[in-house]
Structure 1
Amino acid sequence: MSCLFMFYFGLNMFFMLKKHVLMLLLTLEFLVLTILLMLLNFLMNFMFDGMILIYFIIVMVCEGVMGLVLLTLLVRSHGSDYTKSLMVFSC
Structure 2
Amino acid sequence: MLLEYILLFNMLSGVVVFCSTRKHLLLSLLSLEYMVLCVFIFMFIVMMNYGYELYFSMYFLVFTVCEGALGLSILVNLVRSQGNDYLSSMSLMSW
5+ residue gaps, structure 2: none
- Count of residue correspondences: 90
User: Which residue in 1 is equivalent to 2:79?
Assistant: 75
Q: Match for 1:39 among 40, 43, 66? A: 43
1:34 is displaced (CA, Å) by 0.5
User: Which residue in 2 is equivalent to 1:30?
Assistant: 34
Q: Deviation above 2 Å: which 4+ runs of structure 1?
A: none
TM-score (norm 1): 0.94
The whole-number CA distance in structure 2 between the counterparts of 1:8 and 1:67 is 21
Q: Match for 1:84 among 88, 91, 95? A: 88
The whole-number CA distance in structure 2 between the counterparts of 1:90 and 1:54 is 38
Q: One-letter code of the match for 2:88?
A: K
- Corresponding residue SS for 1:84: helix
- Corresponding residue SS for 1:49: coil
TM-score (norm 2): 0.90
1:31-57 per-residue CA deviation (whole Å, 9 max, x = no partner) reads 000000110111011000001111111
The whole-number CA distance in structure 1 between the counterparts of 2:23 and 2:43 is 31
The whole-number CA distance in structure 2 between the counterparts of 1:54 and 1:90 is 38
Q: Matched residues, percent identical?
A: 36
1:90 is displaced (CA, Å) by 3.0
